[in-house]
Amino acid sequence: MDTNIDNRLGTEKISKLVLSLALPSVIAQVVNVLYNIVDRIYIGHIPEVGSTALTGLGVCFPIIMLISAFSAFVGSGGAPLASIQLGKGDKKRAEKILGNGVTILITFSVILTIVFMLFKEPLLYAFGASDNTIPYALDYLNIYLLGTIFVQFSIGLNTFISCQGQAKTAMLSVLIGAIINIALDPVFIFGCNMGVKGAALATIISQGCSAIWVLSFLLSKRSSLRIKLPNMKPNWKIIGSIAALGVSPFIMQATESLINIVFNSGLKHYGGDVYVGSMTILQSVMQLFVLPTQGITMGTQPIISYNYGAKNHQRIKDTFRYTLIVTFTITVLATLSVVMFPQVFARMFTTDAEYIALVVKVLPIFMAGIWIFGIQMACQSAFMGMGQAKISVFLALLRKIILLIPLALILPKFTGVMGIYYAEPIADILAALTTGTIFTLTFKKILEKA
């Protein structure tokens, strides 16, 4: 089995390989979009209180995304390293990286659950909750936090499946959770009349099923990389390597949490609950397009990592070229769709006329820079695949910390609440242009050092 995977990543025709690896990842991410937004769609349509409940769920996003960020720290930090070691033929080292990843995820789960349980209410108020929306936020979060370990395992370990070239198996782990979540949501929310609590319960049950699937595969003989107890003993050199590469995706997701805090606080200050609720819808629509695009980069990254370890430069160049063309095409089409049909996306999440009118107005503005974001994603994924931790960290900081957050804080002082919506496209365009320039200047040098 190992030899077959090695042959595929190292020798199979790029176009066929990209399709076979990226397509399952894309399908998984499309379903993952439903996984992430189906709660919001159902909650937004709860009779009488749907819009307020949706806003309450929105202020939970910073905590939810921060929990996911810690799983990305391990998954996106460890899996490329494991793939590089497979490319070098060192399976033993790759399994040690996996084992240490499991240990880190368990540690994160315990700490995150305790901290957020203790401080959830003051944090939610700080994140933009009001007296009207806090009950719904607490109802959701009290249950969601009980499944923190499921999130860590299902997200953090699934990348160790895809890094072996097992894209279909990695896709199934997402499909299992998503289908269960979609099926249970209406049962718990409406059938059992649990409302927001039902959405949270459906989510943790589905994440638990995904986690069990991932663990069962990585413990079985079907996996090229297997979880073994001796490899879970902390190796500080390996942990340091995971941290060095994982800090970039961690920052990308953790700063997404910080952005939510800045957005929600500003929208509450300059606009009110309706504006906070609109951001929940805007970010959900963005996920509809960004997550499938990430599926492309997730599917092609193992090819880049493996061939970087094997010093096969031409295959890296060919893979990047395919990735860039596809991601850029998707993001251009995404921009066109939201500009032409904003009312369709608004009505997906709410029937409230006030919310719909606001979303129709601000969605084309908020998404106006997404057309060029495909360049950012393709270049950053290539840097990650080649283990370029320092560049990845800088690019993660650039768009969100250096550009987006300052813009979201400064622009409203001059343009009012609309400045918060303007900040996103300005940051997207500037970050993508900078990333593309850096990639053009450094790509050849990185390959020469491989």
User: pTM to 2 decimals?
Assistant: 0.72
Sign of CA dihedral 117, 119, 122, 124: negative
* Most confident option among 17-26, 135-144, 168-177: 135-144
Question: Which tokens go with 291?
Answer: 């997550």
* pLDDT for position 157: 92
In 3D space, the residue among 254, 283, 253, 256 whose CA is nearest the CA of residue 421 turns out to be 283
pLDDT at residue 1 greater than cutoff 50: no
**Mean pLDDT value across residues 398-422:** 94
Share of the chain above pLDDT 70, in %: 95
Question: Who's near 336: CB < 8 A, 6+ residues apart?
Answer: 371
Q: Could you tell me the pLDDT band of residue 384, with boundaries at 50, 70 and 90?
A: confident
Question: Which tokens go with 223?
Answer: 């996996």
**195-248 residue pLDDT tens:** 889 999 999 999 999 999 999 999 998 888 889 999 999 999 999 999 988 887
pLDDT at residue 316 greater than cutoff 50: yes
pLDDT at residue 106 greater than cutoff 90: yes
Length of the chain, please?
Answer: 450
DSSP string, 41-71: HHHHTSTTTHHHHHHHHHTTHHHHHHHHHHH
* Burial group, residue 47, by CB count within 10 angstroms (0-12, 13-18, 19+): exposed
Residue in the block written with tokens 């319960």:
201
* pLDDT for position 2: 46
* pLDDT for position 335: 92
* pLDDT for position 10: 66
Give first-to-last CA distance, the chain, whole Å. Answer: 27
Q: Could you tell me the pLDDT band of residue 35, with boundaries at 50, 70 and 90?
A: low
* pLDDT for position 344: 93
Is residue 148 within 8 Å of 205, Cβ to Cβ?
no
pLDDT at residue 25 greater than cutoff 80: no
**Mean pLDDT value across residues 259-287:** 89
**119-164 residue pLDDT tens:** 999 999 988 888 888 999 999 999 999 999 999 999 899 888 887 7
Q: Could you tell me the pLDDT band of residue 291, with boundaries at 50, 70 and 90?
A: confident
**Mean pLDDT value across residues 432-449:** 91
Specify the range with the lowest mean pLDDT, choosing from 186-190, 280-284, 336-340, 393-397: 393-397
Please compute Rg for the chain using Cα positions.
21
The H or E element that residue 110 is part of is helix 91-126
Distance CA 69, CA 130 (A): 26
* pLDDT for position 211: 94
pLDDT at residue 6 greater than cutoff 60: no
Helix axes 2-11, 273-309, angle to 10 degrees: 100
Distance CA 367, CA 335 (A): 6
pLDDT at residue 107 greater than cutoff 60: yes
* pLDDT for position 4: 53
Is residue 45 within 8 Å of 350, Cβ to Cβ?
yes
Mean pLDDT of the chain: 87
Give the Cβ contact number of residue 436 at 10 Å: 16
* pLDDT for position 288: 83
In 3D space, the residue among 10, 379, 356 whose CA is nearest the CA of residue 165 turns out to be 10
Question: Who's near 89: CB < 8 A, 6+ residues apart?
Answer: none
